[in-house]
Amino acid sequence: MTWLCDFWRSSIGGKVTMAVTGLLLFGFVVAHLLGNLKLLAGPDSINAYAKMLHDLGPLLWVARIGLLVIFVLHVVTAIRLSSANKAARPVRYSKEATMQATLASRSMVLSGLTVLVFLIYHLLHFTLGVTNPEHFQKKAAGAQGFDVYAMVTASFANPAIALTYVAAQVVLFFHLSHGMQSLAHTLGLHHARYTPMIKKLSFLLALLIAGGNAFLALSVLTGIVKGAA
Ligand code: HEM
């Protein structure tokens, strides 16, 4: 166990932790978006999906706890690496490249913390029903207690909520786009020939994910996806 802690504390161990946890979180946002897209297919589709997830019972809790551990590791390691970087920084930058790298990693910490704030709000909103109990109650009142469609459409019909989600997706886009480039770099994929391709791919994937989420919020707000009957 101590060798694992020593590895995590090392600079390369920290970077590998960021890459592996980042990849797993990326897998989660892709899966979550694919599930949420069922909103476009109507209430039966997304509500059956929500029921299927809840019917997993203890397995769902294993997945939730796993996700939480991965998330905490990602955040704690990011903060540790960023303060180690700051401590090691010379008083003056000798090269512009160093300055750019520091700016990029600083903006990653900032965008990451903003996504964390969004996530706390999102869980209070849809999972715990604290911020808008009137929307959360719609979920329990509907089909077999899993009317996620009614809850989500009632929420995004409110412009302040829909636009908050869209703003969070802009930040998520920057975080994912840069995060995937760092991930590729850590995995050793940095070569004059591949780097431009990796940049484009990271941009495109981040755009698809953040854009997909924003599209869902805006589809409800603009009436493309209608509220529950
Ligand atoms: C338009 C965008 C989104 C929609 C419509 C949406 C919808 C939902 C809903 C309805 C739930 C509650 C499911 C239930 O308890 O039945 C949920 C949970 C959750 N969402 Fe989202 N979500 C969106 C974006 C995101 C994003 C961008 C992230 C991550 C950055 C995220 C992370 C989570 C997490 C971690 C949970 C808790 C999962 C659990 O404990 O079961 N969501 N989301």
Pocket (CB within 6 angstroms of ligand 1): 29, 32, 36, 50, 64, 115, 119, 122-123, 126-127, 148, 152, 165, 172, 213, 216-217
Banded pLDDT at 191 (limits 50, 70, 90):
confident
In whole angstroms, how far apart are CA 3 and each of 7, 8, 10, 31, 175?
6, 9, 10, 33, 31
Q: Which atom of ligand 1 is nearest to the CA of 169?
A: 27
Is the pLDDT confidence value at 206 over 80? yes
* Domain at 2-89+97-221: CATH code: 1.20.1300.10
For residue 145, the model assigns a pLDDT of 79
For residue 92, the model assigns a pLDDT of 55
- This prediction has a pTM of 0.90
For residue 95, the model assigns a pLDDT of 57
* Residue of 122, 216, 225 with the most ligand 1 atoms within 8 Å of its CB, for mutation: 122
For residue 211, the model assigns a pLDDT of 98
Q: How many whole angstroms separate alpha carbon 155 and alpha carbon 139?
A: 11
Is the pLDDT confidence value at 187 over 80? yes
Q: Which atom of ligand 1 is nearest to the CA of 71?
A: 35
Mean pLDDT of the chain: 90
The full set of domain ranges for the chain reads 2-89+97-221
Is the pLDDT confidence value at 168 over 90? yes
**More confident: 120 or 82:** 120
For residue 128, the model assigns a pLDDT of 95
Question: What residues contact 3, with CB distance under 8 A and at least 6 apart?
Answer: none
Which pairs with CB-CB distance under 8 Å and at least 24 residues apart come from 158-167?
159/221, 161/125, 161/132, 161/217, 162/217, 162/218, 162/220, 162/221, 163/217, 163/221, 164/121, 165/213, 165/214, 165/217, 166/214, 166/217, 166/218
With pLDDT > 70 as the criterion, what percentage of the chain qualifies? 92
**More confident: 62 or 97:** 62
Ligand 1, atom 43, lies closest to the CA of: 126
Closest CA to 225 of 154, 132, 134: 154
Closest CA to 154 of 132, 122, 169, 130: 132
| Ligand 1 centroid from CA 5, angstroms | 31
Q: What six digits make up the tokens of 203? A: 């941009």
* Residue of 126, 148, 221 with the most ligand 1 atoms within 8 Å of its CB, for mutation: 126
| Ligand 1 centroid from CA 108, angstroms | 22
Closest CA to 138 of 55, 221, 43, 52: 43
Q: How many whole angstroms separate alpha carbon 137 and alpha carbon 92?
A: 56
Banded pLDDT at 208 (limits 50, 70, 90):
very high
Amino acid at the residue 183:
L
Banded pLDDT at 207 (limits 50, 70, 90):
very high
For residue 8, the model assigns a pLDDT of 87
Banded pLDDT at 152 (limits 50, 70, 90):
very high
Composition of the chain by helix, strand, coil, percent to 5: 85, 0, 15
For residue 198, the model assigns a pLDDT of 92
